[in-house]
Structure 1
Amino acid sequence: MNRAIVRVEHLEKRFGPVRALMDLSFMVDEGEIFGIIGPDGAGKTTLLRILAGVIRPDAGSLRLFDRDLLRELERVRPLLGYMPQNFSLYGDLTVRENLLFFSTMYGASDPAWMERLLHFARLERFLDRRAVQLSGGMQKKLALIGAMIHRPRLLLLDEPTTGVDPVSRRELWDLLSEFHLQGVTILVTTPYLDEAERCTRVALMHRGRMLAIDAPDRLRASLGHPVIEIIAQPIMGVHAALRDHPGVLEAVILGDRIRLVVREGSLSPEDVEEAARGIPGAIVQEARWAAPRLEEVFAHLMHQETADG
């Protein structure tokens, strides 16, 4: 069994009257890709800035690699690679100059490793291009390999794929997979629930709290309510009618279909199809059972939190 290299207990952080983090406790095991998923304002960036030693919490304890982060930051820092969400490169410097700067800053000098990083990121051809002239995806890849220049054991990444195109998102995750294969533990935040599928475990975070932590497949299985998918036109009218059905807990349009989270035993696909056909002008193609998605788990947990709060 892998040992826990991140231990967070009862973490709290306030910014004036705003409670950014509330009683946060979790562990990250060595060798994991641990994803923290949540919308803007969930507290993800605040949490990563605390773990990176950029800001201090108001309460709680933090242990990284069995050391107290708050007391032994300088001993822990060489083991960490941190990529903040905001632009962290020197725009007037070239790709080569940025990497040389990171190497000097971390006291790392390994030309072979730098070449390997450039190869991983496919940036060899752009060594003399200024960072400000790179595309958004290339800037992200450069920042990522800059955070890896000193071979950290734990990589902290704050929304590394936000604001880049789908191809760049895939390339960035391919790069993370390469680093994971090198033995690096990765803690990554993202607003994209589809990226959770690439993580070994996922924490669903909302308003400074973690609502659930588990492997993606176990989170989906935890929904506890069946899901029905229906393809029908006009989709907006059918959606509006079905979401008000007493047996429907959630109704979301996804592409050309409507996904319904329903109360156990309340509705079958046949019931949903019959209800849809009763809507004037509706044309139904099919209705069927469907596997839960993380979006539905997250939405259900948020509604539960609101109801309990």
Structure 2
Amino acid sequence: MTDVIAVTGLTKRFGPKLVVDNFDITVPRGAIYGFLGPNGSGKTTTIRMLCGLLTPDGGQGTCLGFDILKQPDKIKEQVGYMTQKFSLYEDLSIRENLDFIGRMYRIRNRKQRVAQALEDLGLANRAKQLAGTLSGGWKQRLALAACLLHDPQLLLLDEPTAGVDPKARRDFWDEIRRLSAKGVTVLVSTHYMDEAVQCDRIAYIAYGKKLIDGPSADIPKQVGLITWRVEGPDLGTLEQRLKTLPGVEQVARFGASLHVSGTDKAALDHTVDALKAEGTHRWTEQIAGLEEAFIYLMAGSRDNFALDSGKAA
């Protein structure tokens, strides 16, 4: 089995709302595959359909070799799913939570497996601490340990690092890369661009639709963005001016600079040349990044809920 996930036409409605619209995805074994998209874009719903927690209204395919419509229970047995919200028992200790998960999965040599999980995730010294007293980063480690206890072939991680500090995020991703090197496939939704670049492939999702997917390094090329960085005084005034000029499709503030992007290179270069001649700012052409691509794609997307509300009105 080279593809751990292979689905086409995945569709889901909640009442009149079309939440996932004809979604296709193929994920090879051992890949780290990123879902990128705004809140309400359908990422969580898609993940839940892939792991057998939700039944699609349309579409077909397989996850871990099992039919997503006919064999959801088989899928759930071999998937580790880490939800956005901490979902373990806060009035149990770290060890007690892991032991409970081990009982649920009927794991053999449960005590030894729990002890090994505590060591692997650096939780052994805190094993007796109540889960409810842990910081966000330590709760994240516990949740990941619980996901891995039954040796899943596929990890589905839904905004796993939301609300944790940069050090905890870095440690978390070190562990994910270690698991990927062992052949574990990881599907992760994230809002963080520094995390997105660590994924082998990325799918941009907006309001139920997949806009684009491919190797993370190739996404800006697929979008076709040309980007210039500009530094200098009074960037606010320059930003407003740029939005009215030919070839400029996007202006985004990045700290003490503006990133000016467009898909018509000739028109954009002509505008930049004219502004360069004024001598007031420093201009540097650069390769467009994932964040510029993300902003560009989101700007062209339409909120399906807003559209439905408009029709209802």
**1:85, CA displacement in angstroms?**
1.1
Give the AA of the match of 1:236: G
Q: Could you give the per-residue CA deviations for residues 35-92 of structure 1, whole angstroms, max 9, x where no partner exists?
A: 1111101101111111222221111113112221221222222211111111211000
Equivalent residue for 2:149?
149
Equivalent residue for 2:132?
132
Q: What are the ranges of 5 or more consecutive residues in structure 2 without an aligned counterpart?
A: 308-313
Give the AA of the match of 1:153: Q
Equivalent residue for 1:82?
81
Tell me which moved more, 292-301 or 199-208: 292-301
Match of 1:299 among 286, 291, 295: 295
C-alpha separation in 2, matches of 1:292 and 1:114: 45
C-alpha separation in 1, matches of 2:230 and 2:203: 29
C-alpha separation in 2, matches of 1:177 and 1:151: 16
Give the AA of the match of 1:130: L
Q: Report SS of the residue matched to 2:228.
A: strand
Change (3 A) 1:118 1:181: farther
Equivalent residue for 1:267?
268
Matched, 1:38 2:37: yes
Q: How does 1:51-200 map to 2 (within 5 A)?
A: 51-110=50-109, 111-200=111-200
C-alpha separation in 1, matches of 2:116 and 2:199: 24
Give the AA of the match of 1:302: M
Q: Is the contact between residue 206 and residue 301 of structure 2 (CA under 8 Å) also seen in structure 1?
A: no
**1:112, CA displacement in angstroms?**
4.7
Give the AA of the match of 2:291: E
Q: Report SS of the residue matched to 1:218.
A: helix
Matched, 1:49 2:48: yes
Equivalent residue for 1:289?
285
Aligned length: 299
C-alpha separation in 1, matches of 2:62 and 2:86: 28
Give the AA of the match of 2:231: I
Q: Report SS of the residue matched to 1:198.
A: coil
Q: Is the contact between residue 95 and residue 114 of structure 2 (CA under 8 Å) also seen in structure 1?
A: no
Instruction: Give the TM-score of the pair, scaled to structure 2.
Output: 0.90
Q: Is the contact between residue 53 and residue 72 of structure 2 (CA under 8 Å) also seen in structure 1?
A: no
C-alpha separation in 1, matches of 2:124 and 2:75: 31
C-alpha separation in 2, matches of 1:117 and 1:175: 12
Q: What are the ranges of 5 or more consecutive residues in structure 1 without an aligned counterpart?
A: 278-282
Give the AA of the match of 2:49: I
Equivalent residue for 1:9?
8
Q: Report SS of the residue matched to 1:267.
A: helix
Q: Is the contact between residue 160 and residue 190 of structure 2 (CA under 8 Å) also seen in structure 1?
A: yes
Instruction: Give the TM-score of the pair, scaled to structure 1.
Output: 0.91
**1:152, CA displacement in angstroms?**
0.4
Give the AA of the match of 2:89: Y
Q: Report SS of the residue matched to 2:265.
A: coil
Q: Is the contact between residue 229 and residue 287 of structure 1 (CA under 8 Å) also seen in structure 2?
A: yes
C-alpha separation in 2, matches of 1:18 and 1:6: 25
Tell me which moved more, 162-171 or 144-153: 162-171
Q: Could you give the per-residue CA deviations for residues 93-112 of structure 1, whole angstroms, max 9, x where no partner exists?
A: 00010110111111113445
Q: How does 1:201-220 map to 2 (within 5 A)?
A: 201-220=201-220
Give the AA of the match of 2:241: A
